[in-house]
């Protein structure tokens, strides 16, 4: 099975099949996605990529180079407050990584160090509200750990609580309760 | 621009010389106009409920958990994905949360969704143009976009 450069989209409020959007600048998987209400960013991925590229979500077209992560890694987990995107953890064979770095989504440029996750996450999942970013789950031994950061500051992550079931490589999102 | 007035404000109007006013629910259910500015508006998909779906443990998992992001504590059961899946990713418009693709023994092109405010199981949304897992998913509150992945 090959990595693909496909970008496709749906209108969330409807149902139906996805439609072609364009292609990623670099073909890869296991990148982290974050966004403002204008731009979507895709960062890192297999194999130990440091590439950050972006799209304008309301249009269609190919992604464009944004800049580089501070360190290339696979399985990046990403969260945002629509202004700042934070990329956490990942895999740099043969080790998991505790790096967090961030970008200002509306600009372009390389990522800057944010702080450290409490421990090295290999395949965490992220979500956020407009203040907190959450990183949860990991492997190789499935973990139930949930950690959080305050996105508009910098610093290390703090314990949040536990998942109902220890696991890794989930799909994270946030919405209204 | 997909913005909404925060949840205590239930309507809005523009007022010359200000950032506008929102209709706020006050004590005893009375409504009144409150000045708001851009900093009090938040993107529609920025709710306070975080959902984690699927993943792998001893096998593929269909569990959906939720947390209240602003409050620390353990996750609570929300419902189930249509099938056990790992390596999926999602976005929302605030109301509806949508997950794209994922590794499974079944359909890797499945898109599925839940209503974030309501506990329950996921429902089929449609199919990706290319079946895959480990995409990076982004959204602007109107569109959800899946980028790359393993086909």
Q: Which CATH architecture has domain A20-162?
A: 6 Propeller (2.120)
Confidence (pLDDT) at B6: 43
Q: Residue range B71-80: average pLDDT?
A: 98
User: Are B88 and B122 in the same domain?
Assistant: yes
CB interface of B with A, residues 12-71, below 8 Å = 42-43, 45-58, 61, 63, 65, 67-70
Whether chain A has a CB inside 8 Å of the CB on B1: the answer is: yes
Measured CA to CA, the distance from residue B68 to residue A134 in angstroms comes to 11
Could you tell me the strand order of the sheet in which B136-139 lies? A19-23, A3-11, B143-150, B136-139
Confidence (pLDDT) at B106: 81
**Does residue B5 carry a pLDDT above 50?**
no
User: Are B140 and B111 in the same domain?
Assistant: yes
Confidence (pLDDT) at B107: 85
Measured CA to CA, the distance from residue B64 to residue B61 in angstroms comes to 9
Measured CA to CA, the distance from residue B72 to residue A158 in angstroms comes to 10
User: Are B133 and B91 in the same domain?
Assistant: yes
User: Are B71 and B101 in the same domain?
Assistant: yes
Give the start-to-end residue ranges of the domains of chain A: 20-162
Can you say how many angstroms the Cα of residue A15 is from the centroid of all Cα atoms in its chain? 25
User: Are B15 and B71 in the same domain?
Assistant: no
User: Are B140 and B68 in the same domain?
Assistant: yes
**Does residue B89 carry a pLDDT above 60?**
yes
User: Are B75 and B123 in the same domain?
Assistant: yes
Per-residue pLDDT of chain A (177 residues; tens, 9 = 90+): 799 999 999 999 999 999 999 999 999 999 999 999 999 999 999 999 999 999 999 999 999 999 999 999 999 999 999 999 999 999 999 999 999 999 999 999 999 999 999 989 999 999 999 999 999 999 988 999 999 999 999 999 999 999 999 999 999 999 999
Residue A114's alpha-carbon distances to A59, A98, A117, B32, B54, in angstroms, are 31, 11, 10, 41, 28
B106 to chain A, closest Cα gap in Å: 15
**Does residue B108 carry a pLDDT above 50?**
yes
**Does residue B79 carry a pLDDT above 60?**
yes
> Residues of A with CB below 8 A from B67's CB?
134, 146, 160-161
Predicted TM-score (pTM) of the model is 0.89
> Residues of A with CB below 8 A from B70's CB?
129, 131-132
Three-point CA angle A118, A43, A70, nearest 5°: 60
CB contact under 8 A, A24 and B148: yes
A109 to chain B, closest Cα gap in Å: 19
Whether chain B has a CB inside 8 Å of the CB on A57: the answer is: yes
Confidence tier at B63 by pLDDT (50, 70, 90): very high
Whether chain A has a CB inside 8 Å of the CB on B6: the answer is: no
Q: Residue range B79-105: average pLDDT?
A: 97
Of B61, B87, B141, the CB nearest to A165: B61
Measured CA to CA, the distance from residue B85 to residue A26 in angstroms comes to 25
Query: How high does pLDDT run on average in chain B?
Result: 84
Of A6, A42, A164, the CB nearest to B129: A6
Residue B101's domain spans which residues? 49-147
Nearest Cα residue in chain A from B147: A7
User: Are B59 and B34 in the same domain?
Assistant: no
Measured CA to CA, the distance from residue B134 to residue B104 in angstroms comes to 12
Can you say how many angstroms the Cα of residue A3 is from the centroid of all Cα atoms in its chain? 18
User: Are B90 and B140 in the same domain?
Assistant: yes
Confidence (pLDDT) at B117: 97
Half-sphere exposure at residue B117, Cβ-oriented, CA atoms within 13 angstroms: 9
Confidence tier at B105 by pLDDT (50, 70, 90): confident
User: Are B85 and B32 in the same domain?
Assistant: no
Confidence tier at B29 by pLDDT (50, 70, 90): low
Half-sphere exposure at residue A5, Cβ-oriented, CA atoms within 13 angstroms: 11
Nearest Cα residue in chain B from A25: B148
Confidence (pLDDT) at A140: 87
Contact B106, B83 (CB under 8 A): yes
User: Are B38 and B53 in the same domain?
Assistant: no
Q: How many domains is chain B partitioned into structurally?
A: 2
């Amino acid at each position: 099975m090959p990595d693909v450069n496909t970008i496709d989209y749906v209108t969330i409020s409807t149902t139906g099949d996805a439609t072609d959007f364009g292609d990623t600048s670099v073909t890869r998987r296991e990148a982290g996605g974050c966004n403002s209400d204008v731009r979507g960013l895709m960062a890192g991925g297999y194999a130990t990529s440091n590439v950050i590229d972006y799209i304008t979500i309301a249009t269609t077209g190919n992604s464009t180079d944004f800049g580089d992560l501070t360190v290339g890694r696979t399985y990046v987990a990403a969260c945002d407050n629509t202004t700042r995107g934070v990329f956490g953890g990942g895999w740099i064979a043969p080790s998991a990584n505790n790096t967090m770095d961030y970008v200002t989504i509306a600009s372009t440029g390389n990522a800057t160090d944010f702080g450290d996750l409490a421990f090295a996450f290999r395949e965490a999942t992220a979500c956020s509200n407009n203040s907190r970013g959450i990183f949860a789950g990991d492997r190789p031994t499935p973990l139930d750990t949930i950690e959080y950061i305050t996105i508009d500051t910098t610093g290390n992550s703090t314990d949040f609580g536990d998942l109902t079931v220890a696991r890794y490589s989930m799909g994270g999102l946030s919405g209204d309760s | 621009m997909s913005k909404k007035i925060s949840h205590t404000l239930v309507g809005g109007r523009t007022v010359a010389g200000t950032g506008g006013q929102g209709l706020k629910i006050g004590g005893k259910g009375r409504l009144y106009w409150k000045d708001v500015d851009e900093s009090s508006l938040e993107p529609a998909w920025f709710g306070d409920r975080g959902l984690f779906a699927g993943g792998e443990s001893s096998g593929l998992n269909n569990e959906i958990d939720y947390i209240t992001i602003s409050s620390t504590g353990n996750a609570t059961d929300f419902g189930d994905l249509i099938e056990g899946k790992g390596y999926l990713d999602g976005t929302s418009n605030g109301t509806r949360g949508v997950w794209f693709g994922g590794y499974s023994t079944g359909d890797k092109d499945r898109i599925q969704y839940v209503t974030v405010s309501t506990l329950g199981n996921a429902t089929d949304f449609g199919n990706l143009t290319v079946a895959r897992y480990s995409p990076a998913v982004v959204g602007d509150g109107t569109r959800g976009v899946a980028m790359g992945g393993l086909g």
